[in-house]
Amino acid sequence: MPPKKAAATKAAAAPAAKKAAPAKKSAGVTKTTAPAKKTAAAAKPKAAPAKAAPAKAAPVKAAPAKAAATKAAPKKRKVAEEPEPEKEEEEEVEQAQDEDSEEEEEKPAKGSRKSAPPATKKRSTPVPAPKRAASAQPKKAKAAATKKKTPAPEADKENADPEPKVTGASSPTKRKREDTVEPSHDRGAAKDESEAEDKPAPEREIKQPRPVKRVRTAAPVSKVKIGAKINNAPDAVLDVFVFGEGSSGELGLGSMKYENKKPIDVKRPRINHNLSADKVGVVQLDCGGMHAIALTKDNKVLTWGVNDQGALGRDTTWDGGLRDADAEDSDSDSEDGEDSGLNPVESNPAEIDMSDVAEGTRFVQVAASDSASFALTEDGRVYGWGTFRASDGVLGFTPTIKIQKFPTLLAEPKKVVQIAAGSNHAMALDSAGKLYTWGCPEQNQLGRRCVQRELLASALRPGGVGLKRGVKVVKISCGSYHSFAVDKEGGVYTWGLNNFGQLAIEQDAGDSDAAVLTAVKVESLMDYKIVDIAGGEHHSLACTDDGRLLVWGRIDGHQTGLPFDSFTEENAIYDDYKKPRILKTPTVIPGLPKIVSVAAGTDNSFAITEDGKVYSWGFSINYQTGQGTSDDVEAPTLIDNTAVRDRNITFAGAGGQYSMLACHAEKKA
């Protein structure tokens, strides 16, 4: 599934709006709030003497130092207003307050996935679990007795931090995280007092990622029952080859040099050592705009690349530095292990958060769009995460959720046998041959009418695509803003954006807003039996049962692989400068071996032959053709480097500025 590129036409509103993203996403951005938090925390313990004096004035003066500290100050005032207790009771009150402050420190870690850095600091001075448990019991008993005598601090505790309640979060994951951030109760009174004063600063910081809580809306996993098996997972383990820019971690090569090679600007296919056949065992994968997804033989779903809108389905918080824009290029020599500046949590393939995935779930297929990902199960259900974007920004993931940070089960469709994704829409085919689409409808890529006044409800909820009675769809595919469905006879149905004739329909091709609202059969392909089809941003290609390769759509960037002198007024549309711009009729590329599979990037293309060789052509500014050049590749050219020369390639996929190939893994002796 291809996304938009920086040089894409401004004809469609959505393509133009989306393409500026890569520059912003090219580096892991460092959050610098942590040092500021430390400084503020270091200054606050000066207010501690207020506890020694029973007078009310001291804590009142300390509170205005920072607005966030006002939650701690009232506790001291209310304790001071009580009748002066016995000396032993004073110690109990102090212990209870210390316990409260530690409990309040612990709450932000429970409430958000982004509280990991504070947890790491606490783990730096661990206390053995048995000792912590033994010391906790007497303090809890004393705290209970003290709270009966002094109810005011308890009331403050209830009002201080209500936000850690997370709806829909998985209890096993929460328990695990709580275990790792539990504070020690054996700290000295001075340290406890300091932490009690420090508490408000991290509390203000934790409020920032509150939208993460709202996305955890999946039903409790215990209520999800696994249905009858209707799909089979692939079992052939693959070797994965990557090439292209990789400045956002989408190649999955990590952030460090490996074998004296940087993980960015890979000019020719390179095997991905992070996806080795023996240790990982990838069986299926897909390319999104700036992220990728893979399914492994042991039922793991791995993701890597950009995670700005939750497309990776896992927490990728990183406290690293910004990439040096003046660093040397990828061809320079240096020792292994040199850091590229990429976010290592995003650029290394890692498993999605499985907290809300039902126990016993088996995955069979994965798919990726620009900002969302999907996984299909054996029983025909679909899990998804991320979001869909429109021309004016984030559209949403469901009618009620803007960004779904972690995998959640979609209520519909069910009994799905195949999924596909475009730039900002998704499609599913069920066991009865019915098509469903959802996502952004701006270019009519959903193939159905969406009510404008209820846009979110109608577009973000899967709905059926109308086809003639008796049509049996066997394959689905998405371009950036258009879609295809192939029936069992090899006929093609299409809908969506057609401003460059990418639907192989002449009507209105060349108009900036040309689009086809509902599915129509492509008459220009009726003389062929199509077995595979793919769409880029403004071009498309297909192969037939007898191995012929057909191309159509935009041609000014060599997307079709045909020479310009082959175009005429009959088969092409010319621009105002008398240059051919659109190939309106599907045309066979001559002189190629038998083609069995095709793939498309934004403005580049791939064709796989029956003997596993790969041809590529088109836009190559980021080396996404795998030909080792940043110049456009004008005609289909064999990818022939040492990594893939003797391999039988079975898969090709492309994103915005990168591409992937895969073949059956070599058996080691």
pLDDT digits (tens, 9 = 90+) for 217-239: 444 444 788 999 999 999 999 99
* Claim to verify: residue 132 and residue 195 sit in the same structural domain: yes
- In contact, 599 and 611? CB cutoff 8 Å: no
Whichever domain contains 360, its CATH number is: 2.130.10.30
Q: Span 256-272, mean pLDDT?
A: 96
Q: What is the pLDDT of residue 47?
A: 41
* Claim to verify: residue 445 and residue 573 sit in the same structural domain: yes
Rounded Cα distance between 524 and 612, Å, is 29
Q: What is the pLDDT of residue 1?
A: 53
- In contact, 544 and 529? CB cutoff 8 Å: yes
Q: Structure tokens of 229?
A: 């098996």
Rounded Cα distance between 114 and 206, Å, is 8
* Claim to verify: residue 203 and residue 248 sit in the same structural domain: no
* 220: in domain: no
Rounded Cα distance between 637 and 614, Å, is 8
Rounded Cα distance between 561 and 637, Å, is 9
* 640: in domain: yes
Rounded Cα distance between 157 and 75, Å, is 9
Rounded Cα distance between 367 and 380, Å, is 14
Instruction: Tell me if the bond preceding 413 is cis, omega within 30° of 0.
Output: yes
> Length of the chain in residues, anyone?
669
98 pLDDT more than 80: no
184: left (phi over 0), alpha (psi -120 to 50) or beta: beta
Percent of the chain with pLDDT over 90: 60
* 30: in domain: no
* Claim to verify: residue 437 and residue 475 sit in the same structural domain: yes
Q: Read off φ and ψ for residue 492, nearest 5 degrees.
A: -120, 130
Which secondary-structure segment (H or E) carries 25? helix 21-25
Q: pLDDT by residue (tens digit) across 147-156?
A: 434 444 443 4
Percent of the chain with pLDDT over 70: 64
- The domain containing residue 176 runs over which residues? 35-208
Q: What is the pLDDT of residue 389?
A: 97
* 229: in domain: no
* Claim to verify: residue 242 and residue 201 sit in the same structural domain: no
Q: Span 141-166, mean pLDDT?
A: 40
Q: Domain count for the chain, please give it.
A: 2
Where in 227-359 does DSSP place strands (E)? Answer: 238-244, 266-271, 282-287, 291-296, 301-305, 350-351
Decide which of 159, 192, 208 is a domain's last residue.
208
Rounded Cα distance between 540 and 366, Å, is 22
Q: State how far Cα 213 lies from the chain centre.
A: 17
* 76: in domain: yes
* Claim to verify: residue 275 and residue 391 sit in the same structural domain: yes
Q: pLDDT by residue (tens digit) across 551-598?
A: 999 999 999 999 999 999 999 999 999 999 999 999 999 999 999 999
* Claim to verify: residue 387 and residue 529 sit in the same structural domain: yes
pTM of the model: 0.68
Q: What is the pLDDT of residue 669?
A: 56
* 22: in domain: no
* 145: in domain: yes
84 pLDDT more than 70: no
* 231: in domain: no
Residue 490 burial (C-beta neighbours within 10 Å; 0-12, 13-18, 19+): middle
Q: pLDDT by residue (tens digit) across 33-44?
A: 333 333 333 334
* Claim to verify: residue 270 and residue 363 sit in the same structural domain: yes
- In contact, 338 and 329? CB cutoff 8 Å: no
pLDDT band at 23 (very low <50, low <70, confident <90, very high): very low
Q: What is the pLDDT of residue 320?
A: 72
Which secondary-structure segment (H or E) carries 402? none
* Claim to verify: residue 428 and residue 497 sit in the same structural domain: yes
Helix/strand/coil percent split, the chain, to 5: 25, 25, 45
Q: Span 630-636, mean pLDDT?
A: 97
Q: pLDDT by residue (tens digit) across 377-434?
A: 999 999 999 999 999 999 999 999 999 999 999 999 999 999 999 999 999 999 999 9
DSSP state of 339: B
Q: What is the pLDDT of residue 2?
A: 59
Decide which of 191, 208, 225 is a domain's last residue.
208
Q: What is the pLDDT of residue 95?
A: 52
